[in-house]
């Protein structure tokens, strides 16, 4: 996500190149595509299908800024915990306060 917030709009190859610039062990392009598609399905990214060399491809852009994304993650995790472990979650949240 950090790469996309800085690029603003990119296809999977561009994101894959940026991600692998700083990695000692490269990550597969399929892993990047799966991540981008998952984020698009969750509404974290927007996707636009474009035609280009080699056929169709997706261009991704953030649907949320970093702060919104962090809030989305926290809300999603808390909702999941409340659904699966309501009593334990209430006790843990009360402990944090």
Burial class, 84, CB count within 10 angstroms (exposed 0-12 / middle 13-18 / buried 19+): exposed
Centroid of chain to Cα 21: 19
Name residue 55's beta-bridge partners: 52
pLDDT in tens, 6-26: 888 999 999 999 999 988 999
pLDDT in tens, 36-94: 999 999 999 999 999 888 888 999 999 999 999 999 999 999 999 999 999 999 999 88
Q: What is the DSSP letter of 25?
A: S
> Largest alpha-carbon pair distance within the chain?
56
Q: Is the pLDDT of residue 34 over 80?
A: yes
């Amino acid at each position: 996500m950090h790469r996309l917030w800085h690029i603003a709009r990119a296809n999977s190859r561009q994101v894959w190149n940026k991600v692998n610039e700083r990695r000692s062990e490269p990550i597969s392009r399929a892993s990047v595509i799966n991540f981008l598609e998952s984020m698009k399905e969750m509404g974290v990214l927007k996707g636009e299908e474009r035609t280009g060399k080699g056929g169709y491809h997706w261009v991704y852009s953030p649907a949320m800024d970093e702060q919104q994304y962090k809030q989305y993650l926290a809300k999603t995790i808390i909702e999941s915990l409340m659904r699966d472990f309501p009593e334990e979650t209430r006790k843990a949240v009360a402990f944090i306060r």
